Chain A
Amino acid sequence: MTEPSQDRVRTGIRDAFRRIAPEVDLESIDPSANLREEADLDSVDALNLIVLLDENLGVEIPESDYDQITTLADMRRYLTARIPGG
């Protein structure tokens, strides 16, 4: 079951980025680098991203967990562990 949830997380993240920062090519982003810096996201983008991840994947990320999703790899891991039905 891990494979489908990983795929769903990837798709959910990709869709969220298409809507808040369509010019960002996620494939070219270093998954271990700071995502906000790499993708040039400000705090408004960041909140929009969190809202879209909730909408797309059904995972509400509390503010206190923001430091656990600073890189793309961390974000994927965090979401994969919590996605409903994952």
Chain B
Amino acid sequence: MSKAYPMPSLGAGMEAGTVVEWHVQPGQRVSRGDVVGVVDTEKGAIEIEIWEDAEVAEIVAAPGSRVPVGEPLLLLKETESTADQVVEEVWDEPSPDTPPAEEPHRRLRVSPVARKRAKELNLELDTLHGSGPGGAITLSDVETAAQEMDREGLPPSGAPEPVAEQDESGPDSGVDRHAAMRRAIATAMTRSKREIPHYYLVHTFSLESTLHWLGQTNRDRSPSRRLLLAALYLKAVARAVKNFPEFNGFWEDEAFSRAEGVHPGMAISLRGGGLVAPAIHDADTRSLEALTEAVRDVVHRSRAGLLRGSEVADPTITVTSLGERGVDAVFGVIYPPQVAIVGIGSVAERPWAEGGMVGSRRVVTVTLAADHRASDGHRGALFLEHVAQRLQSPEDL
């Protein structure tokens, strides 16, 4: 019996996506968690995963076709071993470290901007060496290849100047993508501010013990094993929502529904403008080492335009940190249908009174913007205090 593998919904407001490429072909067996292809959305090129073991019967949507959410991309044949398996745990981590056993074609990973530039330069993508994550071809690889060809007097040095914005066309051009991402952000944020009655709470506390612990922990570690402060923030928020589940879930159909797992979305700004907030899955149960690894990986892939469908689909709460840009605090706009966003400001040294004495402390201001339909300020205040306490006991995170 065959069934359709539909265009997934990769977040609120997504209506359609464009197939960029397939990594599978008819007759090929695929396993749960395999990346089967890439679709282009306003959030960038997203790797889409399969959620059951099956055999690809037919490719319904050819590369280049724009397919509405829910419409079939592939037809799958159920394999015997899994015919009665229920497939709904879409949050389980695929195993990204396990490469597919057989690849019918060399799998080509290309960042969108690199694809566009290569097209402008008439460069064949499969002749390029990829230096990005997983061998992805980046803009820099394309530029380097073009320069090398220039130097060797080979074509296509006559490449035109970068095309002016108004001349851009085609669904996957960088400028269109940028504009599409802006529109997607505009739609989501307008809906948020129109529909969600936000309330805001602010909590400033000393991070001295946390930073001391982090410094001690990292002192003797090789770089690849060092912890990021961002991982501590994520874990503290993720652990806290276990006690305050009304901040972890979705407001849908006039009611709040709790999320099963804790998958904080981490707001990541993209260098060309725009942002994404991919989920860090099961952040409440993962070690700080694993979370640091996940953060490093997801930031890298966000900026290379290689996120996976399960990551962008629906984080359960968002954590945004603008502290690196030197601001004291950030008051977030909730990403619907989520109901809360935790904002983290910069760590700053301040005069601090404690036990009748004034001293100098490194402090941070953490905010909560929450949906008043789903929770009240009293619980919000307890939640923020809980986050602060967890952060101040990093050895227990």
Contacts and interface: CB of A to CB of B under 8 A. Distances in A.
A22 B138 CA distance: 7
Interface string B219-254: 100111010111000000000000000000000000
B229 A43 contact: yes
Given A43-B229, A47-B226, A22 B139 contact: yes
B223 A60 contact: yes
Query: Could you say which of B138, B140, B296, B303 has the most chain A C-beta atoms within 10 Å of its C-beta?
Result: B140
B330 interface: no
B324 A43 contact: yes
A23 B223 contact: no
Contacts of A60: 222-223
Interface stretch (A5-13, A61-69, A78-86): A61-69
Interface residues of B, number: 30
Contacts of B228: 43-44, 47
Interface string A8-25: 000000010011111100
A35 interface: no
Nearest to A19: B131
- Contact size range, A: 20 to 34
Instruction: State the majority secondary structure of interface residues on B.
Output: helix
A72 B324 CA distance: 19
A50 B228 CA distance: 13
Contacts of A40: 271
B295 interface: yes
A51 B138 contact: no
Contacts of B324: 42-43
Instruction: State the majority secondary structure of interface residues on A.
Output: helix
Given A44-B299, A48-B296, A62 B132 contact: no
Interface string B288-332: 000010011001100110000000000000000000100000000
Query: Could you say which of B222, B271, B295, B304 has the most chain A C-beta atoms within 10 Å of its C-beta?
Result: B271
A45 B300 CA distance: 8
Interface in B124-165: 131-133, 138-141, 144
Contacts of A63: 215, 218-219, 226
B272 interface: yes
Query: Could you say which of B131, B133, B224 has the most chain A C-beta atoms within 10 Å of its C-beta?
Result: B224
Contacts of A38: none
B110 to A, nearest CB: 12
A62 B140 contact: no
B302 to A, nearest CB: 10
A74 interface: no
Interface of A: 15, 18-23, 40, 42-45, 47-48, 50-51, 53-54, 60-64
16 contacts: A18-B131, A18-B144, A19-B131, A19-B132, A19-B133, A20-B303, A21-B271, A22-B111, A42-B299, A42-B324, A43-B228, A43-B229, A44-B230, A47-B223, A51-B224, A63-B219
Given A19-B138, A22-B131, A54-B222, 8 more contacts: A19-B131, A20-B303, A43-B228, A44-B296, A45-B299, A48-B296, A53-B223, A54-B223
